[in-house]
Amino acid sequence: MVKKSISVLLTVLFCIFMVSCGENSSTKNKNKENSDQNDSDSEEVDDSETSDSPASEDSDNENNGTETDEENDGDTEENDSETSDSEESGDEDSGEPWHKESTVVEPTAESEMKTEALIVTTNEFKEVFQKFANFHTVTGIGTKVVTVEDICKNAVCDDSDAIKDTQKAIKDYVMSVEGLKYLILGGDIDDIPSREVHDHFELPLGIADYTDDFYSDLYYADFSEWDSNGNGIYAEDDGTGTEIDTPDLIADVAIGRISVSTVDEAELYLSKLVKHHTAFNTEHTQKSLLIANIATEISGVKVNAGYYFESAGKTVSLISPDYSMKKLYTQSTPYPGNGTAQPLDNTTEKAAIEEGVNLIVHSGHGGQTLLTCEQGTDPDRDFTAKMAYELKNETLPFFLSCACEAGQFAYTRSDSAGEKLMKAPEGGAIVYLGNTTTGLGIAGGSQFIDEMLRNMFMTSYSTIGESYLFAHLNMFSPSYFTVPLINKDVQVVNPDSWRWTKKSIVMLGDPMTVFWRDKIEPFTAGIEPEVEENDGIKTVSFQFTPDLEGISLRVFADGKLYDVPYVMYETIKINLDSKVEKITVGIKAEDSQFFFKEFDI
């Protein structure tokens, strides 16, 4: 009888002890301030109460009934694709919960890897653009590199026949990539050709009348048919603006040209790109600059492009009111801005860019060697390609311009002004939007930019490519502008100017570049892999410490991607061949800038 009473008493005490331990375990995960006491309690728990026992799992489920979907997804993914290695659980006496367990992560199967972005380049630039692909892949956008040489191995690239030329082969390949969202042309026109088109544009009242042959990268991004009659003339019209071919002229993928001529130029831009995403100066986030020249003359009135900026529903109203806005407008009578603008000249333009700004919008004139300028010759307001190349600005802005020809990547004498801006060794821009031919300013280019701005300020951050696609879908036609003084509504966008604008616009830079709308701080938590080598295998370990709570990271190594989901307080291990010497690690967090680093192992 006594034995039976003792047995019952022991059973009760054991149950109380088990509940107490379960509560301590739950509290430990939710209240970091009690971790020292919980560690002390956990040392008294015997082997039967570890996380591997069914009883413990039931207790955890019961006490953590509010477990998030993210944790559940992580558990499922861990069970499906990751192998627990309890024998390599680290120092049991460390008192740090993240040392208690380890998980070995296997590479993502190639069949499961999505190609959201494609870089088309040449064999000469393949290695450097693979670095771009690694950067984007580990920070969240699966990116693949393909060379023109490889494309032409499997297709006809007969440049003597416009129906079977290299451009056609590249476009066919691009269209074959399922789920593609971004396209980079990695090289100048000598490396990655563009599609030559002919166009005509005319506005009434003698405002404008242009005819030109020029290059259009939109050919690759718009998946509609550009040569419907198969005669090798693309986006053909009859010479007066009447269409023969009828392409949609709406981009299906966001396209950008990184117009480099050397590997060093590509490396320089990559360093700028990484800095922009990982160490953007938040003091400059909410700073914008508007630059306006005399746009045109209507009925004898010189129209300052600043009037377009200031019109209801247009540029000024589309930039967040949280942003400071410096306005540099050419002096005119009348003068737009109601006293908020300063006179534009080369000195004030240079100073405004170099003081640090996130966004620049320009409406006015330009040329192959002039980033911004006035009609005619005015040295005080001719901001040259040389001046652009010599800029010294820490923060690299998005420079959105409707100027003529400054984005002409086919300029044969040297780089155009837009290219020089992008290649500036100590500054310049992170993305330049311009034109490969005559820009139509307030007759099309400004309206496209306004639609980009509308999208850029929708969320705390987004890629510039998303805004480019939005503008292609939403640019209005027709569109009107009220001319100052004479208060006359003039149609500035008609079907002709809409088509011309779509074909001539070019984005120089990476379309996956993030526009930081808000002051999002750089990532500060420490990431440092540990490496052990045994029997021809390098084991790379990452510890998920409390300051990394809620993040997931990606590792690219030996041509394989390792997608590591958020796992609370665990050590993640990746086994690699001992010959592997470098790994690339990236983190895309919602509340910070990106983390990106290449480690020697």
User: Which pLDDT tens digit goes with each residue over 122-169?
Assistant: 999 999 999 999 999 999 999 999 999 999 999 999 999 999 999 999
Q: Which of 516, 543, 560 is the last residue of a domain?
A: 516
pLDDT of residue 411: 85
Structure tokens at 299: 């009925």
Structure tokens at 161: 């026949």
Question: Hey, which bits of 109-188 come out as E strands?
Answer: 117-121, 143-147, 182-186
Structure tokens at 43: 């040392």
Question: Hey, which bits of 96-227 come out as E strands?
Answer: 102-105, 117-121, 143-147, 182-186, 195-203, 208-216
375: confidence class by pLDDT, cuts 50, 70, 90? confident
Q: What residues have CB less than 8 Å from 530, skipping those under 6 apart? A: 540, 541, 542, 543
pLDDT of residue 284: 98
Is 251 a domain residue?
Answer: no
What is the extent of the structural domain holding 570?
A: 524-600
Q: What residues have CB less than 8 Å from 316, skipping those under 6 apart? A: 290, 309, 310, 325
User: Does residue 246 register a pLDDT over 80?
Assistant: yes
CA–CA distance, 83 with 89 (Å, rounded to integer)? 13
Is 310 a domain residue?
Answer: yes
Where residue 576 sits, what CATH number does that domain have?
A: 2.60.40.2470
Q: Which of 516, 533, 561 is the last residue of a domain?
A: 516
Judgement on whether residues 489 and 537 belong to the same structural domain of the protein: no
pLDDT of residue 2: 40
Q: How many domains does the chain have?
A: 2
Amino acid (1-letter code) at residue 81: S
568: confidence class by pLDDT, cuts 50, 70, 90? low
Is 70 a domain residue?
Answer: no
508: confidence class by pLDDT, cuts 50, 70, 90? very high
Question: What is the side-by-side order of every strand in the sheet holding 383-384?
Answer: 365-367, 370-373, 383-384
Amino acid (1-letter code) at residue 302: K
Judgement on whether residues 460 and 411 belong to the same structural domain of the protein: yes
238: confidence class by pLDDT, cuts 50, 70, 90? confident
Q: Which of 475, 494, 516 is the last residue of a domain?
A: 516
